[in-house]
Structure 1
């Protein structure tokens, strides 16, 4: 590449330069393009950039990211938007939010803060418009994945103040975003993967019907998730179903998607009617289903046991990933039917999971469960084994013979039970993550009085697992953005098909 400035390099045909570029990493392509104008002209040849992954940061403090990224985004989309085959766009969480993460309560009466949030929303909308304008005439598009950690703007009431029915600058931008997204879907010809998760103001119940018939016939993965308000806690009244957002996907629309084999939805949108539609003949079997339970009232008409049986008969290879976020054990018990082929379960809530719910999981899904995460961010550490002959976590490890990942945080885990779990599952338990703060030691358990209890635990668990083990870092198990975690896990879960 050091010879690119020579006459020989300048005289090379563009086809050969593009062929050379095809063997280089993205970083090396950029380095080579700096040397001479001839090679720089070939840098943006469509065949070299079939995939594009973009991550945009959000800030309300005016530094480092946000509006400063817009010109870069415009340049990239101008170069690639009309022909790129796969585009993944992710908006990182808005920085500077004075909420629970920073230990500060937001001041709703601060005009400067309100202005900054408005600027953040306008920047977000401008960037979304930039992307969709470049994509609307792209007929090569096969994968479109959009994720925006912008729910906080919805919580702050920014969206309500710029409602699409209002005649304001913000509302006009939201209307344009929705129209552009529908145009992208209408003009597409070979979409196989469509994902839109927590994208403020982008997707509506009218979006998916705009999808062209050609793309509807080829679509294999669909992910539609929106941001909802948190569910009520124990002493609160559930919100009225009249105030809930309408579903982004309705069961009759599934008839247009005969090749769909992977689906990710809010659980309150996955109804009995939808389960019945997926069980019909003349369509590909559903292989992956990712469901987010939480952020709204419990589902009004969840699939029954008969619905799940019919779906599993039609789709024998179906596996389900369920994340229960800020919910209650009662909500979980309501939707966990015996025939639901649950493979991964993540319960992340301030409300403690009950021992009864844990018992149900270990009994019903002992043949399918591989991943189980139980996370609670609270100063209290409830003991699930309290007043029980057998610890429910040990029973889960004993019954669930395919368990390969176990994450525990915010609950009391007795050291001797942790040792038992490691011995029961052995080397097949690839991940055992428990912070030191959750581990309790029974003073009545016999052990060498001169040996440190934690050192003894680490030694015994390591022996049980057949590899070196140590307690996890407390901060590593807490999710700053659970919706982002669900989005990424659902992506990986579906990509395995």
Structure 2
């Protein structure tokens, strides 16, 4: 039998940590159950560089886990995401507790907030929510920005509450983190797209962010002046959220976008319309510009499909466009036959999505929900894009079949033809695969559908 000095529990810590470094996370946990000494090795800072904290209403254990992990590792980690149910005051309180603990970590590199909704239900009596937010969420975040040595990425999670104070946070970032910040997500989701607070945001504040590579911002602050500042930063991705458009908004000129594209030729433009009931009508005339390097366009619950805008996409962005989403609820007034729309309203032939598939040579993704569409046009899109098409989403109940065969026979034939064209198994989305708000605008919360989509590309 091995002597006490030669037992496994007496391995030098440097060797034990080296052994643990070769194990998966689950294997580390199993090994840590061997003895108290091995359990201590599990808590070495090098194993906890990245933590995803979660506070979920339907998973109370997530709150206990978050409290435990934040107690041990909040001062050690480098990258963190804080996901929480923002309509549950208890979960908001837990998210605030995590942010407060992170204030003592001056080595933090990345902080991503991931709320479930655009608004936060803070603890306390009615009317005390703003006081809680400013004291327990905003103030710790400001302190964190001041104290971090080299903050590289910050996302406010499209929260409208945080967006109201984005100017304060931006000023602090410019003062303390301009030399290291590479990713900044300030764009928001509005609870009421027709009535929200506008900040007095000076475009000049962005001049100091010479390391910035990814920026998201609401369209309200996008102007020729802003583009003139950003063109000197060398951005790789510029994400713009469009809600309402006030009459005083200056818009942007094609000349400004031309200058921007010449100075930042690699910068992708991601344009997202969210409940933009008015803006969707002027998308083609006042928002899109030919010199934009538009790679992604998403329209969520705008209750109209702008066919002229689709025509602009195929005319202006033949080399750049990679992704198109157009989503509405099926039982809302927006649900209509796309074929009738472009024939009766726009007098366009042939189908605008087919033209997109033909002319936009880098198009990889089409998501069309809430609009009736012909099966033969789906087949045409699949054949034109071939194996370069990575995603083609449409609900089965939105497909119009010209054949008089039984519905299931039509579906199977469509699945076969599309699958053969794109080189992988394909099928339209069944009812069970759709979010409740897609079925009916009153059956679900659109935030729950939109936020995971707009926040999914958090990493650089």
Q: TM-score, normalized by length of structure 1? A: 0.79
Deviates more, 1:290-299 or 1:80-89: 290-299
Task: Tell me what 1:330 maps to.
Answer: 281
The reply on whether 1:307 has 2:274 as its aligned counterpart is no
Question: Which runs of 5 or more residues in structure 2 are unaligned?
Answer: 439-445
What is the alpha-carbon distance in structure 2 between the residues aligned to residue 316 and residue 297 of structure 1?
30
Structure-2 change in CA distance of 1:195 and 1:152 (3 Å): closer
What is the alpha-carbon distance in structure 2 between the residues aligned to residue 252 and residue 138 of structure 1?
30
**Runs of 4+ with deviation above 6 angstroms:** 156-160, 448-451
The reply on whether 1:398 has 2:351 as its aligned counterpart is no
Instruction: Map Cα deviations across residues 104-143 of structure 1 (whole Å, 9 max, x no partner).
Output: xxxxxxxxxxxxxxxx32x244223321222112121111
Report SS of the residue matched to 2:424: coil
Report SS of the residue matched to 1:461: helix
The reply on whether 1:454 has 2:411 as its aligned counterpart is yes
Deviates more, 1:403-412 or 1:286-295: 286-295
| Residue among 296, 303, 308 paired with 1:344 | 296
Give the 5 Å matches for 1:20-99. Answer: 20-57=19-56, 59=57, 64-65=59-60, 69-92=62-85, 94=87
What is the alpha-carbon distance in structure 2 between the residues aligned to residue 450 and residue 296 of structure 1?
43
What is the alpha-carbon distance in structure 1 between the residues aligned to residue 132 and residue 401 of structure 2?
60
Q: How far did residue 336 of structure 1 move?
A: 0.8
Q: How far did residue 449 of structure 1 move?
A: 10
Deviates more, 1:205-214 or 1:413-422: 205-214
Give the 5 Å matches for 1:90-239. Answer: 90-92=83-85, 94=87, 120-121=88-89, 123-153=90-120, 161-162=127-128, 164=130, 171-172=131-132, 174-199=134-159, 201-202=161-162, 204=165, 205-211=167-173, 213=175, 215-231=177-193, 238-239=194-195
What is the alpha-carbon distance in structure 2 between the residues aligned to residue 332 and residue 490 of structure 1?
24
Report SS of the residue matched to 2:111: strand
Task: Tell me what 1:111 maps to.
Answer: none
Report SS of the residue matched to 1:374: strand
Query: For the aligned residues, what is the CA RMSD?
Result: 3.1
Q: How far did residue 279 of structure 1 move?
A: 1.9
Structure-2 change in CA distance of 1:376 and 1:335 (3 Å): same
What is the alpha-carbon distance in structure 2 between the residues aligned to residue 277 and residue 383 of structure 1?
40
Task: Tell me what 1:441 maps to.
Answer: 401
What is the alpha-carbon distance in structure 1 between the residues aligned to residue 400 and residue 251 of structure 2?
38
Q: Say if 1:178 and 1:201, in contact at 8 Å, map to a contact too.
A: no
Task: Tell me what 1:382 maps to.
Answer: 337
Q: How far did residue 183 of structure 1 move?
A: 0.7
Deviates more, 1:344-353 or 1:395-404: 344-353
Q: How far did residue 80 of structure 1 move?
A: 1.0
Q: TM-score, normalized by length of structure 2? A: 0.85
What is the alpha-carbon distance in structure 2 between the residues aligned to residue 406 and residue 477 of structure 1?
16
Q: How far did residue 28 of structure 1 move?
A: 1.6
Q: How far did residue 6 of structure 1 move?
A: 10
What is the alpha-carbon distance in structure 2 between the residues aligned to residue 6 and residue 381 of structure 1?
78
Instruction: Map Cα deviations across residues 164-197 of structure 1 (whole Å, 9 max, x no partner).
Output: 4xxxxxx145323211111100001111111111
What is the alpha-carbon distance in structure 2 between the residues aligned to residue 246 and residue 450 of structure 1?
53
Structure-2 change in CA distance of 1:351 and 1:450 (3 Å): closer
What is the alpha-carbon distance in structure 1 between the residues aligned to residue 34 and residue 289 of structure 2?
62
What is the alpha-carbon distance in structure 2 between the residues aligned to residue 450 and residue 392 of structure 1?
26
Instruction: Map Cα deviations across residues 455-486 of structure 1 (whole Å, 9 max, x no partner).
Output: 33233323332333322224535475244234
Report SS of the residue matched to 2:251: coil
Q: How far did residue 35 of structure 1 move?
A: 1.7
The reply on whether 1:316 has 2:265 as its aligned counterpart is yes
Instruction: Map Cα deviations across residues 266-293 of structure 1 (whole Å, 9 max, x no partner).
Output: 222333322111123xx4x111112222
What is the alpha-carbon distance in structure 1 between the residues aligned to residue 49 and residue 396 of structure 2?
46
Q: Say if 1:82 and 1:135, in contact at 8 Å, map to a contact too.
A: yes
Query: Aligned residues, how many?
Result: 435
Q: Say if 1:225 and 1:265, in contact at 8 Å, map to a contact too.
A: yes
Q: How far did residue 19 of structure 1 move?
A: 1.2
Q: How far did residue 362 of structure 1 move?
A: 1.6
What is the alpha-carbon distance in structure 2 between the residues aligned to residue 408 and residue 227 of structure 1?
21
Q: How far did residue 202 of structure 1 move?
A: 4.7
Task: Tell me what 2:441 maps to.
Answer: none
